[in-house]
Amino acid sequence: MKRAVQTLFLAVVTLLTTHAQVTLNNVTLPAKLKKDNTELTLNGGGIRKKAFFKLYTAGLYVTEKSKSGSDIAGADKPVAIQLTITSGVISSSNMSEAIKEGFGKSLKGNTAPLQSKIDEFINTFKKEEIKEGDVFEMWYTPGTGVKSYKNGKLQSTIAGLDFKKALFGIWLSDTPVDEDLKKGLLGL
């Protein structure tokens, strides 16, 4: 009987922790995100750090959990990343530069084939000044592309699985912008 109670307790704890929200750097990442008719589950979360600054907290949302960045970035399946700005040092200008550098890493320097899409996406961050507490969500939906939101307001839609792979490659490729952040997003 005691063994059965222990097994039941472990099953309940496992169920609760696999579907729980996560709090990192005073930002709570919900267990699930919903947009339109799509519900995604938190795969993992992490903090983007540079020097002494914690720039943003990120959460990766998927249809089914995975520890493979290349599988998530490359699949023609719904996926989203949520970035919550946690530092006042982030501005529209330096965020745009960081995203540009991230695409360079993700595409191993070969940005030319996607340059017009990259430029359009970077303009998402230039529309209005970025401030601490802003929340960006990038949602990929097959057949539609990547919809980018700032504080819940649609900023842009960029079509193409090729763009989705490059965008999510910023955080999940073999050359991510931050290896520790990648590990957190993949739950490693």
Taking only the tens of pLDDT, the chain with its 188 residues reads: 444 434 333 333 333 344 588 999 889 999 999 998 899 999 999 999 988 889 999 999 999 999 999 999 999 999 999 999 999 999 999 999 999 999 999 999 999 999 999 999 999 888 889 999 999 999 999 999 999 999 999 999 999 999 999 999 999 999 999 999 999 999 98
pTM: 0.87
Q: How many CA atoms lie within 13 A of 92 on its CB side?
A: 11
Domains in the chain: ranges and CATH: 22-185 (3.50.70.10)
d(CA 60, CA 8): 30
